[in-house]
Structure 1
Amino acid sequence: MTSNNPFARLPEVPDFTVTSTTVIDGQPWAAAQYSGAFGVPGGEDVSPQLSWSGAPEGTKSFAVTVYDPDAPTMSGFWHWAVVGIPAAVTELPEGAGDDSGSGLPDGAFQLSGDGGAARFIGAAPPAGHGEHRYFVTVHALDVEDIGVPAEGTPAFLGFNIASHILGRATLVATGEIPA
């Protein structure tokens, strides 16, 4: 595992709280959060349940991202990006990131991640590559519309988040597939 921190060069902002019934900070994903689409036995590509509280004053919307900086690429791997979550919403149910985004609140939408689909794609670290970290982050934003279109990328979302971020709440799940 590398020590790269995806937030190291981003603006420092206050933390707030994110909890989950499906993610335990610092612990491995459950089988459902692995990727059946990428051939992981038992993987179901089910997005995690998330609840958050204590967002900074002035929050007008949220974005949620799941990012693996340890993927064997030069740019990591984006597993999920949700845009346009209204400020009054403080929870996403497990499975909200399915193909239709059925559990997302009105106005929110998913961007196509590195798996090529606008949905949650579960963990699929290469066998024997070692432990990967999955940064599950809720971003509190100072705008209702971050200005990223549905055909935008998670990296473009991240670029726009950097100038509109008020706070950040993160859980880190892990994942590994033995050789």
Structure 2
Amino acid sequence: MNSSKTFAVLFIFFFVLISSTNAHIAFVNPPFRGNDAVNSKIPPCGGSNEVNTTAITEFPLTDGQATVKVGHGTGVLLFNYAPDVNSTFQSVADNVTVDVPHDSGGKQLTASINLSKAGAKIGDQGVLQTIFIDGGVNFTYQCADLKIVDAKSANAKSASSVFGISEVAYLIIGLTSFVIANL
């Protein structure tokens, strides 16, 4: 096998590995601040405790929607908000019951978010946290950085990202496969 094909094969395996480490939970919208699969069990943000200034998303104070992809598991998704990771997180949504079979490929779940429940105001910047409690004993954490806007402003701008991490990974895998086939 020549070095170009070897590189292409390793490249594909790398992205498959990344997508499998991203399989337990991942914010789809708003985008997550970081995905540290090794430390995903560490509160409050699964090892990604610093603000990701390139992923701050405008999010409505009320009537927001958060979507999380759950790779597998049975349990509950919680959504909380705080001004920063050193503050007390407060619930901003009803709990979402999760039942995703291990071999299903995952499922996206959406929750209605009301940041005013946690005292947020238009213009604030803060952290949306999701916690997946699998089987009542395994906790997985992830966070997203938000700038709070009024619902009309958020609807006019729509979502900040059309493509999630999974879609980008599939695109890269497809392009890599095309390159390998044409070498």
- TM-score when scaled to structure 1? 0.41
Which has the larger share of strand?
2
**Of the two, which has the highest radius of gyration?**
2
- TM-score when scaled to structure 2? 0.40
Which has the larger share of helix?
2
